[in-house]
Structure 1
Amino acid sequence: MFQVLGSAWALLFGMFLLMIGNGMQGTLLGIRGQIEGFDTFAMSIVMSAYFLGFLGGSRLAPGMIRRVGHVRVFAALASAISAVMILYPSYPNVIVWALGRVLIGFCFSAVYVTAESWLNNAADNSNRGQALSLYMIVQTLGIVASQALLVTADPSGFILFVIPSILVSLAITPILLSISPTPAFATTKPMSLRQLMAFSPLGCVGMFLLGGVFSAQFGMAPVYGAEAGLSVAQISTFVATFFVGAVVLQYPIGWMSDRIDRRFLVIAVSIVGFGGSMLGMVLGDVFWLLLLSAFVVGGMANPLYSLLIAHTNDFLEHEDMAAASGGLIFINGLGAILGPIITGWMMGTALGPGGFYLFTGVLFAALIFYAGYRSTVGETVPVDETGSYVPMGPTRTTISLELAQEYAIETELEEMEEDETAPAT
């Protein structure tokens, strides 16, 4: 742990500040949009634009880094993020905001690719798991901390937009001044989606559905809070609770993943997520029950991401796992683009704010039925032959996912060697 901190502290601290900035701007726009009089569907377009840019950035960033290098890409894109955050309150227009969200999504995706390749370079076989855990914890803590800052000023003014702009600008300082060497950059050519679907239909369908769930909670949760009449403090607490649930429940579900049939666990986790959605839809007017529903939905959706990747890996050879990661992220990104738009449309109907939870509930229900169907027709991998579960979050790019795949392979090989050398009883 200390070895990872010593070699990557600047990167982790910079990522913490970047996540505060990203978390603030997402929630703040949902609140400010209502103040500016934007309707729910207009805000859904704005929120969806981030995921469109994010998907584009994950595809184009590797080429940018190869052409001009990590340092220039990181500095240029962080500067662009900082500028757009100041642009939002200056031009309160749906088209301007949507274009700004596309740019910010693109820039954050490329910044993540750059940062994660640095993390990959700082880690080795002995601490790769610790590096992944620290990275995920730092990301989540940054988003949770960002929600606390939303109560420090009036969301109708400029200050709350200036704060994340400053934090993003400061985030690049420790990274660019770090003495850590710039890593060589290489990514694996992704597997075709047709091949990936043939290997794991449940993994592909599940990742698409989860893209909608995650983008709804990350993009539309603050819009839901504003439409439901929550105060700024309540909205920030509500949004933070999704991510607290993700951290708290990630490891227990991961522990179960290595001990029972993963398709059964996908069904069970989705059932709990569906129950959390229905709780929020029916009893969301009671604030503590609303928080409970957010904790459950976030706590189920994020571990499901890791669980579906682990399930997909069970049907792949080691040499194919890294190639599959790009396809899984692309499928998840497609679902994430559609999620806010459909959620916004449902909230704009007679359903009102309850459409937010109805949407996540429908996606969880679809995953329940499809996983149940696959359990009757698909091939089963015995529990003692499954690979390792590695905690991951939907904000990861192909770099950290490939890093996680490497860690899972190394862990599996070490366990196989231990079994071979263990004395017979």
Structure 2
Amino acid sequence: MKQVAAVRWPAIAALTAVSTLAQIGQFGIGFIMLPVWLAHQGLDAQRAGLFAASQWAGMLAGLVAAPALVARIGAKRTVSLGLAATIVAFSPLASLSWPLWIAPGILTGLGIGLRWIANESWLYGLVPEELSGRVVGVHETLIATAGVIAPALAAWYGPDGFVTIVAGLSFTFAAAIPLWLTAPGHPAGIIAPEASVHGSERTAPVSALVYLGMVVVAIGGISDGALYGLFPLYANARGMSGTQTTLLLACLGLGGMALQFPVGWTADRAGLGITVVVCAMTSTLALLTFALATPMTWLFPASGLVVGGMNSAFITLGMYAAACSEKTALIRNMRLVSLAFTASSIVGPLITGTAMKVFGNDILLWPLAIASGALAVFTLGICEGRRQRSHPSPAN
């Protein structure tokens, strides 16, 4: 009871609001809707892949820089820098053209990387371990609204550059309000002085749980980078209009929003390994159905809901692995999981964009289905190995 009473729920709520509003502006507008707008400007699959890769490369730089910045200036100011980077990226976007769009692409990613590490390490450092799955599930559900709100705005107003930019700026500005209303906090061992960050975290071994989380988010990153960066071109190849594309992107976001709390709850109850297997198998079946379904049938948006939910589930499970790890090494483990996600998100659109150029834009979902299936087989092998170690044969 004493531990629960000490939990700073107002701070947890405020930092969750920061993540939610920033995710809508930085990811929903910046990563989901900007590629739709750019596709309307005539970008082909290869250049769209390069733009998406530039965003993920910027995020990678933010993830690498964030721990040192947190140690030097604190989490609150580091998150503020991330929001400012996104605002600077959106401001000149309408007046630029290819290849100058690469610079705002890098800045939007940099902003997310800084905000992700600083804000979520601060947030999860306040959460008791026994509540990690549910709090992560609620957090991921709320930030998944980015995948619904941003496409819904574009569907309502049209994928116009002005509306997209104003919405991105507005949500990013709004995220600063709960951030600056929250008192700075330094949970023991989480947002630590530089000596602690570079001392105790280096000596603490990385657990098998965190390694599995890194593998899971790597698959999620490949899917996220390829799906959101190249989906407008896939939709065009399937004969869909711009409005239909944004509505289907909203379906992907709805799935991500609806399924994250059940995924977190299942991980708390059944463990990470079993939950990963179930999600990976479900994702594989949903991607195959999505690829084969006719766009005008109910099966197409229904499978899109499941694909979006399972894709977000991979990120939720990776964050769950980091949040359940040693509190003294939380920022290190968050960084490892985040780096695995971001590095694979750079590779995803580059490889898939090249494959689409060779085999056609409608091939997008097949490599993602193969990746999800491989994750299910890999995790099943880990679970079986653990079972055999815990139940040795009579000969041993």
TM-score, normalised relative to structure 2: 0.79
Which deviations, in whole Å up to 9, do the C-alpha atoms of 1:155-212 show, x marking residues without a partner? 3442321221133223323432x2x32223327556699x759788755544433321
In structure 2, distance between residues paired with 1:161 and 1:357: 29
- How far does residue 222 in structure 1 lie from its aligned partner after superposition? 3.8
- SS of 1:349's partner is helix
Does structure 2 retain, via aligned residues, the 8 Å contact 1:210–1:363?
no
- Separation in structure 2 between the aligned mates of residue 182 and residue 203 of structure 1, nearest angstrom: 28
| 1:279 corresponds to 2:283 | no
- What is the alpha-carbon distance in structure 2 between the residues aligned to residue 117 and residue 311 of structure 1? 13
Who is 1:161 aligned against?
165
Q: Deviations over 1:368-403 (max 9, x none)?
A: 3333444555565779xxxxxxxxxxxxxxxxxxxx
CA RMSD of aligned residues (A): 3.8
How far apart in 2 are the matches of 1:139 and 1:262?
Answer: 21
The residue correspondences of 1:13-412 to structure 2 (distance < 5 A) are 13-22=17-26, 23-93=28-98, 95-120=99-124, 132-176=136-180, 178=181, 180-184=182-186, 185-186=191-192, 188=197, 196=206, 203-257=213-267, 263=273, 265-286=275-296, 288-307=298-317, 323-352=332-361, 354-375=362-383, 377=385
Structure 1 unaligned residues grouped into runs of 5+: 384-425
C-alpha distance in structure 1 between counterparts of 2:15 and 2:71, whole Å: 20
For 2:126 and 2:382, the matched residues in 1 are separated by: 40
Contact 2:46 2:353 in 1 (8 A): yes
Please tell me the residue identity of whatever aligns with 2:149. A
* Counterpart code for 1:173: I
Report the AA paired with residue 25 of structure 1.
Answer: G
Deviation at 1:144, TM superposition (A): 1.8
Cα distance change, pair 192–102 in 1 and its aligned pair in 2 (3 A)? farther
Mapped to 1, the partners of 2:320 and 2:121 lie a distance apart of 22
CA distance 1:284–1:47, shift in 2 (3 Å) = farther
TM-aligned CA deviation for residue 38 of structure 1: 1.0
Shift of 1:245: 2.0
The number of aligned residues is 376
CA–CA separation in structure 2 for the residues paired with 1:191 and 1:221: 40
- The letter of the residue matching 2:111 is C
> Which amino acid is the alignment partner of residue 343 of structure 2?
L
Q: CA, structure 1 residues 129+254, in 2 after alignment: closer, same or farther (shift >3 Å)?
A: closer
Change (3 A) 1:258 1:12: closer
| Cα distance change on mapping 1:278 and 1:64 into 2, 3 Å | same
- The letter of the residue matching 1:54 is M
Tell me the secondary structure at the aligned position of residue 96 of structure 1.
Answer: coil
8 A Cα contact 1:82 1:168, kept in partner: yes
Q: Cα gap change, 1:239/1:287 in structure 2, threshold over 3 Å: closer, same or farther?
A: farther
Deviation at 1:279?
A: 1.1
Structure 1 residues 6, 126: CA separation in 2 closer, same or farther (over 3 Å shift)? Answer: farther
Contact 2:138–2:260, Cα closer than 8 Å, also in 1: no
Distance 1:317 1:357, change over 3 A: same
Residue type of the partner of 2:168?
Answer: P
Q: Give the distance between the partners of 2:282 and 2:344, measured in 1 at CA.
A: 21
Q: Give, in angstroms, the shift of residue 331 of structure 1.
A: 2.2
Q: Which whole-Å deviations, capped at 9, do the CAs of 1:89-138 have from their partners, x for residues lacking one? A: 21121x32222211111112212333335535765789877754543333
Q: TM-score, normalised by structure 1?
A: 0.74
Deviation at 1:350, TM superposition (A): 2.7
Looking at structure 1, the residues matched to 130 and 323 of structure 2 have their Cα atoms a distance apart, in angstroms, of: 22
Q: Secondary structure at the match of 2:42?
A: coil
8 A Cα contact 1:24 1:150, kept in partner:
no
The answer as to whether partners of 2:136 and 2:320 remain within 8 angstroms in 1 is: no
Q: Distance in 2 between matches of 1:261 and 1:131?
A: 15
Using the aligned pairs only, state the percent identity: 21
